[in-house]
């Protein structure tokens, strides 16, 4: 029976194949797996993108960009097999195909593996980590597609991106020259790409700053540390106009109305 180390090894294989890819089909070849994952649920995963593969205990969880999880438990004899061009073994019970042509096959002689789809409650749901390389502009666009809320408020929603707080949301939007009041679902993919780069630069700088100055007495002064945060009425470092402060969802947002559009 696969134990934790075997399942972790399998999850690492699944991670390499699946993360950042969208599902193009799931074929279930055995009635046992069709019982736990009915064909309609399997079809609903087509077009959804895998943002992470996690192991919890002996189960593997494919976290999808829709906020759902495809949960796989190998039970007694399950394992992943990466198919070559030849015919699949008869013991393959499920085949998941991805948009780059890669496939993951669930090989399970006893056919006891369980695949199931979970809706994760919003409060338990963490989006991809802001520094996770699987988080692309396309994944972000999908997560924002139904959000008619200001982009600044969306960035604080941990179910969309995990790890950005109030300070770095303002800083990243300034760096990306995006107006924090813009509706999250109207930002085109090239600008989301710029925004992701800005988020990563902002967070990487912040991590470096923490390492260098945290707890030290020669801390860099706050006025050079931030570009907009806590700088109301001070000049924008790019255009010289005054930084504004507004309240969004009860939190202060700092931005330059002149060079953020």
Q: How far apart are CA 20 and CA 49, in angstroms?
A: 6
Active site residue 119: no
Helix (H, G, I), strand (E, B) or coil at 8: helix
Q: Which is nearer to Zn ion, 127 or 180 (CB)?
A: 180
Q: Which is nearer to Zn ion, 100 or 234 (CB)?
A: 234
Q: Which is nearer to Zn ion, 74 or 255 (CB)?
A: 255
Instruction: Give the total of residues touching Zn ion (CB under 5 A).
Output: 6
Q: Is 237 in the site for Zn ion (CB under 5 A)?
A: no
Structure tokens at 240: 């010289």
Q: How far apart are CA 76 and CA 192, in angstroms?
A: 44
Q: Is 239 in the site for Zn ion (CB under 5 A)?
A: yes
Q: How far apart are CA 33 and CA 38, in angstroms?
A: 8
* Region near Zn ion per CB under 5 A, out of 120-128, 160-168, 180-188, 234-242: 234-242
Q: Which is nearer to Zn ion, 73 or 181 (CB)?
A: 181
Active site residue 5: no
Shortest Cβ 245–Zn ion spacing (Å)? 14
Structure tokens at 11: 């999850």
Which is catalytic among the residues 34, 55, 58, 177? Answer: 58
Q: Is 24 in the site for Zn ion (CB under 5 A)?
A: no
| Region of residue 233 (left: phi > 0; alpha: psi -120 to 50; beta: else) | left
* Region near Zn ion per CB under 5 A, out of 123-131, 140-148, 195-203, 248-256: 248-256
Which is catalytic among the residues 3, 123, 223, 261? Answer: 3
Q: Is 258 in the site for Zn ion (CB under 5 A)?
A: yes
Q: Is 238 in the site for Zn ion (CB under 5 A)?
A: yes
Cβ neighbours for 171, distance < 8 A, ≥ 6 positions apart: 202, 226, 227, 228, 229
Q: Is 252 in the site for Zn ion (CB under 5 A)?
A: no
Q: Is 203 in the site for Zn ion (CB under 5 A)?
A: no
Q: Is 198 in the site for Zn ion (CB under 5 A)?
A: no
Q: Given the structure tokens 């939007």, which residue do they identify?
A: 173
Instruction: Cite the DSSP H helix spans in the chain.
Output: 4-18, 31-36, 39-44, 137-144, 151-156, 166-176, 189-213, 222-225
Q: Is 256 in the site for Zn ion (CB under 5 A)?
A: yes
Active site residue 38: no
Q: How far apart are CA 145 and CA 163, in angstroms?
A: 20
The residues binding Zn ion (CB under 5 A) are 236, 238-239, 256, 258-259
């Amino acid at each position: 029976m696969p134990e934790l180390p075997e399942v972790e090894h399998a999850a690492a294989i699944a991670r390499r194949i699946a993360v950042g890819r969208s599902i193009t089909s799931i074929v279930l070849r055995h009635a046992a797996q069709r019982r736990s994952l009915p064909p309609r649920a399997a079809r609903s995963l087509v077009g959804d993108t895998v943002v992470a593969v996690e192991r919890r205990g002996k189960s593997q969880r494919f976290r999808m960009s829709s906020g759902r999880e495809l949960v796989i438990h190998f039970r007694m004899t399950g394992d992943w097999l990466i198919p070559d061009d030849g015919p699949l073994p008869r013991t393959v019970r499920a085949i998941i195909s991805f948009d780059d042509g890669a496939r993951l096959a669930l090989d399970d002689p006893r056919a006891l593996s369980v695949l199931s789809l979970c809706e994760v409650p919003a409060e338990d749901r963490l989006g991809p980590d802001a520094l996770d390389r699987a988080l692309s502009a396309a994944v972000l666009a999908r997560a924002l597609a139904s959000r008619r809320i200001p982009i600044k408020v969306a960035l604080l929603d941990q179910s969309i991106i995990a790890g950005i707080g109030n300070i770095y949301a303002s800083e990243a939007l300034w760096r990306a020259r995006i107006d924090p009041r813009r509706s999250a679902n109207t930002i085109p993919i090239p600008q989301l790409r710029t925004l992701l780069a800005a988020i990563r630069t902002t967070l990487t700088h912040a991590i470096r700053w923490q390492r260098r100055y945290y707890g030290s007495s020669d801390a860099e002064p706050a006025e050079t540390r931030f570009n907009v945060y806590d700088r109301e009425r001070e000049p924008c470092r790019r255009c010289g106009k005054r930084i504004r402060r507004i309240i969004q969802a009860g939190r202060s947002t700092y931005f330059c109305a002149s060079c953020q559009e």
